[in-house]
């Protein structure tokens, strides 16, 4: 027998939190067993909490051998309470136990059970997704019962007090049904729940080792014995002839009074329950021999962290504790708080994105030192994935235990897109995401995107094909898409039918024409997606029928619950770890992130079935137990030699609250007059990573095009742009840049303007002289038809119908009034006028919405507006010369069909359908007033064009910035208007 195990059992050890757990464990076992021969170590058995813990320990044994060949001990995962870690099955203990049900199969079976008894859940909407949600909650309840080994039947009857809400009575009845029917279903399938099977295995193993103690070296390391069955097994292991239990970070320095008050939320809570269950006094737990290496910094770091996390009842005497610590350290001549803070730093980032950048930079910096290791510890999977994505910038792939959700994998993303296509097959954004997906091989989507899916959305496949009539390649692609997506059900159907159709559509989309689906089902993501769809097809019988949207929601929820851990080559010195894994794994630099309340620790999960008192009645652990376990994991990580605590001040756009542990640590440090060091340099790196070296705000652009390229012809609307924003004229009329519409462009405002013009034109052409008796109804129909043709979303047409009715009634009255003198109506007429400017011709053009010629020979000019018309002040100042310049063209005979006419009233028609439904805004009266306004505008045009024909005159952005919010431009982003307009540029006009 090794001298290490010579003392009588039980043997309980601890590795202090500031020591590297796996390395000390490996070195201690190697030192103890090496003298017994080369095979002694390989014959030992080490039980770890998780599989990743076993792998980390294997690496530690290799490192401890210092280059010598070594046969490590047998390492087995004891089985933790998280998903995905199978139990330890030694010998023949499991021969008479049924197999464990597959996790996905279990979800479907529980969902079926919920759906079949939905009537017990009074007042809830029955959908496949809601049934799955309730099934997941029921699964968690069953797991808790099995892990805690509770038989709740005798307690369920009195579970609900008379004064509790009916909701809890419903829950009780439902749970009674589930506890009766679920075991029957498992028996019929010949399987058992994973948690139940694990508990039985651990209990059997504990009994076997009690009756026949193993004679070899047996070590249980890193577990806190949260489950009763695990705690019982640890007690047996500690009493074995050569057995011992090694606890992670037991606080031996905590006072007896504070230890007595350790509760569920304290980091030592789990180990206190374990020691109490094993009837072991804390003083009997020894420090692991390989960890007896003196380290002042490590020792005082652990003391500081443990004191910061002491029970709330004992935080009132922190000043006394600080004084006591300093008294203890007097002989060393140091300040223990300051020494404990050495190697510890705090970074407060502005946002989650900045926090991820800081973490990635600090990890990357560690690689600059040969053999230096670094790890990120974060319970927030989203943050972990962000950091991994940022590290890819430098071609670094860390060993990431968080993996990614199935929904984030290429195959899962395609499945989600195809499922959404059943809801709305012609959604342009969804269609483009499908045809541009890397697995889809239907052809080049560029023409389909540019000519078919940008702008107002098509509502039918025929309308999409009409847009693509002159693009045969795009037309063929649209035809293939239509044929593939047509197989997706538009009606309610069984989830299995939807899954079958989605899988078939995915394969058709990925088909290269020769029956090869490429990489669709390959890799970890493809395999996981194929298992999920196969499970839906084979196992979802009994789930309620779903609508297309309901199935898409169901599939999203299923994929979010599946984690894909990609394999492949990863960097050997970088790791991204979950909180529980950080107990065993240690790195030279440890970044502890996600230190916000609700993230670490997480808030207590909502239980739809049980209230807190009901859980207590059933003997189930309170939600605070998870907080205590998380606190222990934080304390373990925070005691590493170099630790960077990372906190984001804002999460999801809202201010965050610092984690309670970080707040306590800062409070203790302030009480001691010590500040936790920051890392401003890391923040500077993150903020400067993508910033230019010498950033200067953009100045207002003022391009100076060659004289030969300056415009010699403009429409009056472009003259209006030249008065307000010459830069936009340079971009559009000189450079010929045209803004591309976005896919599924919001068209509400534009559609109203297009539709009102088209409706007026149709009405005037249909009824040029005599008005029909039902003028309002006819105009309303014209307007609604044009709204739909202009791309108004169907859901918006119901609202527009009411506005159209009010607008049509106002327009009917307008037509009666304005046509009363028999005037002629001319719509959408184009006029031109050649103007001599400094001896050169300039062509001015206008397209008039409506010109009315009255018997007196006046040409009244009307312009339709569905928004606010330009004010009189703006028109008089020359910033909106559209009507006045149109009047000048009319006065000089520029409208060939009408001849030379005296300008009449210049009027804007505001048509909104609201109250009032419309307004006539006259900007110049007929006669001398409108004539003077026209001539003044023409003179202003000559001055304006002459100025911009000057080769030295720049086309400055926004010369009238007072209109920057009122009139948006397609070119503001090119001109960087926001940047220069807020930078306080000197000499701003």
Q: What is the pLDDT of residues 33-78, one digit of tens each?
A: 877 777 888 888 899 887 777 878 888 888 887 767 778 888 888 7
∠ at Cα 974 (973, 978), nearest 5°? Answer: 40
> How many Cβ atoms from other residues are within 10 Å of residue 129's Cβ?
22
Rounded to 5 degrees, what are φ and ψ at 17?
-60, -25
Return the beta strands (E) in 551-690 as ranges: 563-564, 574-577, 589-592, 643-648, 650-651, 654-655
Evaluate whether 631 touches 661 at the Cβ level (below 8 Å). yes
The predicted structure's pLDDT at residue 844: 96
d(CA 225, CA 234) in angstroms, rounded, equals 7
3-state helix, strand, coil in the chain (%, to 5): 50, 15, 35
The first and second tokens of residue 949, run together, are: 């024909």
Assign 85 to helix, strand or coil.
coil
∠ at Cα 300 (297, 305), nearest 5°? Answer: 120
* 10 preceded by a cis bond (ω within 30 of 0): yes
| Short-list 84, 121, 113, CA closest to 540 | 113
d(CA 298, CA 330) in angstroms, rounded, equals 17
DSSP string, 415-442: HHHHHHHHH-TT-HHHHHHHHTSTT--S
Assign 81 to helix, strand or coil.
coil
pTM exceeds 0.85: no
Residues of the chain with pLDDT under 50: 1, 80-89, 162-163, 986-989
d(CA 259, CA 272) in angstroms, rounded, equals 8
d(CA 362, CA 528) in angstroms, rounded, equals 33
d(CA 359, CA 614) in angstroms, rounded, equals 42
First to last CA, the chain: 92
The first and second tokens of residue 113, run together, are: 């059970």
Evaluate whether 308 touches 658 at the Cβ level (below 8 Å). no
- Cα–Cα distances in Å, from 202 out to 367, 441, 558? 42, 51, 30
Beginning with the edge strand found earlier in the chain, give each strand of the sheet holding 243-248 in spatial order.
Answer: 74-77, 45-48, 218-221, 243-248, 12-15, 286-287
Beta strand 858-865 pairing with 840-853: antiparallel
d(CA 578, CA 580) in angstroms, rounded, equals 6
Return the beta strands (E) in 325-434 as ranges: 344-349, 374-377, 399-400, 404-405
The first and second tokens of residue 302, run together, are: 């652990």
Can you count the helices (H) and strands (E) in the chain? 37, 24
d(CA 644, CA 599) in angstroms, rounded, equals 17
The first and second tokens of residue 899, run together, are: 């001849």
Evaluate whether 45 touches 37 at the Cβ level (below 8 Å). no
In Å, how far from its chain's centre is CA 784? 39
∠ at Cα 68 (62, 73), nearest 5°? Answer: 45
The predicted structure's pLDDT at residue 762: 92
Beta strand 643-648 pairing with 344-349: parallel
* 916 preceded by a cis bond (ω within 30 of 0): yes
Beta strand 643-648 pairing with 589-592: parallel
| Short-list 899, 922, 762, CA closest to 828 | 762
Q: Residue 525: CB partners within 8 Å, gap ≥ 6? A: 406, 409, 410, 411, 412, 564, 566
d(CA 919, CA 806) in angstroms, rounded, equals 13
* 601 preceded by a cis bond (ω within 30 of 0): yes
**Torsion of the alpha carbons at 436, 438, 444 and 447, rounded to the nearest 10:** 10
Rounded to 5 degrees, what are φ and ψ at 924?
-160, 135
In Å, how far from its chain's centre is CA 975? 31
Q: How many CA within 13 A on the CB side of residue 667? A: 16
């Amino acid at each position: 027998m090794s001298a290490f195990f010579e003392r009588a059992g039980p043997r309980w050890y601890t590795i202090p939190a500031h020591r590297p757990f796996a390395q000390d464990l490996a070195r201690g076992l190697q030192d103890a067993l090496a003298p017994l021969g080369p095979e002694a170590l390989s014959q030992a058995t080490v039980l770890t909490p998780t599989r990743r813990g076993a792998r980390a320990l294997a690496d530690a044994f290799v490192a401890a051998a210092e280059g010598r060949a070594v046969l490590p001990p047998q390492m087995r995962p004891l089985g933790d309470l998280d998903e995905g870690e199978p139990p330890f099955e030694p010998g023949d203990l499991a021969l008479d136990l049924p197999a464990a049900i597959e996790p996905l199969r279990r979800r479907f079976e529980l969902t079926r059970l919920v759906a079949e008894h939905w009537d017990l859940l009074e007042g809830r909407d029955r959908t496949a997704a809601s049934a799955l949600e309730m099934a997941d909650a029921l699964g968690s309840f069953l797991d808790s019962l099995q892990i805690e080994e509770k038989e709740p039947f005798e307690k369920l009857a009195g579970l609900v007090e008379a004064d509790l809400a009916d909701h809890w009575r419903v829950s009780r009845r439902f749970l009674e049904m589930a506890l009766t029917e679920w075991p029957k279903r498992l028996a019929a399938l010949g399987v058992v729940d994973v948690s139940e099977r694990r508990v039985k295995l651990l209990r059997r193993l504990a009994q076997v080792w009690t009756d026949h103690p193993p004679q070899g070296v047996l070590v249980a390391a890193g577990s806190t014995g949260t489950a009763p069955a695990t705690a019982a097994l640890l007690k047996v292991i500690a009493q074995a002839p050569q057995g011992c239990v090694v606890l992670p970070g037991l606080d031996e320095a905590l006072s007896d009074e504070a230890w007595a008050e350790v509760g569920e939320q304290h980091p030592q809570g789990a180990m206190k329950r374990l020691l109490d269950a094993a009837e072991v006094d804390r003083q009997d737990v020894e420090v692991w021999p390989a960890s007896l290496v003196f380290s002042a910094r490590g020792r005082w770091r652990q003391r500081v962290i443990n004191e910061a996390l002491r029970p709330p009842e004992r935080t009132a005497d922190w000043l006394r504790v600080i004084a006591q610590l300093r008294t203890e350290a007097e002989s060393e001549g140091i300040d223990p708080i300051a020494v404990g803070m050495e190697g510890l730093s705090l970074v407060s980032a502005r946002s989650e994105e900045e926090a991820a950048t800081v973490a990635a930079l600090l990890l990357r910096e560690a690689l600059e030192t040969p053999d230096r290791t670094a790890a990120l510890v974060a319970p927030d999977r989203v943050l972990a994935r962000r950091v991994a994505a940022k590290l890819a910038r430098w071609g670094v792939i860390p060993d990431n235990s968080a993996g990614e959700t199935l929904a984030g994998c290429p195959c899962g993303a395609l499945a989600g897109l195809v499922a959404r296509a059943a809801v709305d097959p012609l959604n342009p954004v969804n269609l483009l995401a499908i045809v541009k997906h890397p697995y889809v091989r239907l052809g080049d989507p560029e023409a389909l995107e540019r000519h078919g899916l940008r702008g107002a959305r098509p509502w039918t496949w025929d309308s999409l094909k009409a847009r693509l009539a002159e693009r045969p390649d795009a037309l063929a692609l649209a035809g293939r898409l239509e044929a593939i997506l047509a197989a997706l059900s538009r009606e309610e159907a069984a989830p299995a039918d939807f899954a079958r159709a989605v899988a078939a559509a995915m394969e058709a989309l990925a088909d290269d024409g020769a029956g090869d689906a490429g990489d669709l089902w390959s890799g970890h993501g493809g395999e996981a997606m194929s298992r999920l769809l196969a499970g839906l097809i084979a196992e979802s019988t009994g789930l309620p029928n779903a609508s297309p949207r309901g199935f898409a929601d169901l599939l999203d929820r299923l994929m979010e619950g599946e984690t894909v851990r990609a394999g492949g080559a990863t960097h050997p010195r970088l790791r991204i770890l979950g909180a529980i894994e950080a107990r065993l794994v240690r790195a030279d630099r440890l970044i502890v992130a996600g230190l916000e309340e609700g993230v670490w620790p997480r808030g207590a999960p909502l239980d739809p079935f049980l209230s807190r008192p009901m859980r207590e009645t059933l003997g189930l652990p309170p939600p605070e137990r998870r907080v205590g376990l998380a606190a222990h994991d934080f304390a373990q990580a925070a005691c590493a030699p170099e630790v960077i605590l990372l906190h984001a001040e804002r999460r999801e756009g809202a201010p965050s609250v610092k984690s309670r542990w970080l707040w306590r640590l800062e409070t203790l440090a302030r009480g001691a007059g010590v500040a936790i060091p920051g890392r401003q340099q890391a923040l500077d790196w993150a903020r400067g990573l993508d910033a230019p070296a010498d950033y200067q705000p953009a100045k207002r652009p003022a391009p100076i095009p060659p004289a030969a390229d300056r415009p010699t012809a403009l429409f009056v609307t472009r003259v209006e742009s030249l008065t307000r924003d010459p830069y936009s004229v340079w971009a559009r009329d000189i450079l010929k840049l045209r803004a591309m519409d976005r896919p599924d462009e919001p068209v509400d405002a534009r559609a109203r303007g297009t539709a009102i013009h088209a409706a007026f034109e149709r009405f005037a052409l249909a009824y040029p002289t005599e008005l029909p008796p039902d003028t309002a109804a006819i105009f309303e129909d014209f307007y609604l038809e044009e709204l739909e043709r202009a791309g108004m979303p169907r859901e918006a047409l119901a609202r527009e119908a009411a506005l159209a009715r009010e607008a049509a009634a106002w327009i009917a009255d307008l037509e009666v009034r304005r046509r009363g003198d028999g005037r002629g109506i001319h719509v959408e007429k184009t006029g031109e006028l050649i103007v001599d400017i400094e001896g050169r011709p300039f062509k001015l053009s206008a397209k008039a919405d409506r010109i009315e010629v009255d018997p007196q020979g006046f040409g009244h000019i009307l312009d339709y507006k569905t928004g606010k018309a330009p004010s009189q002040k703006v028109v008089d100042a020359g910033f909106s010369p559209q009507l006045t310049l149109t009047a000048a063209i009319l006065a000089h005979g520029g409208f060939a069909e009408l001849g030379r006419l005296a300008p009449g009233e210049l009027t804007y028609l505001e048509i909104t359908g609201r109250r009032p439904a419309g307004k006539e805004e006259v900007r110049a009266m007929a006669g001398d007033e409108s004539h003077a306004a026209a001539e003044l505008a023409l003179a202003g045009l000559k001055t304006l064009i002459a100025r911009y024909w000057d080769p030295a005159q720049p086309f400055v952005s926004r010369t009238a910035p007072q209109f920057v919010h009122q009139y948006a431009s397609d070119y503001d982003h090119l001109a960087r208007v926001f940047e220069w307009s807020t930078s306080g540029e000197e000499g701003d006009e």
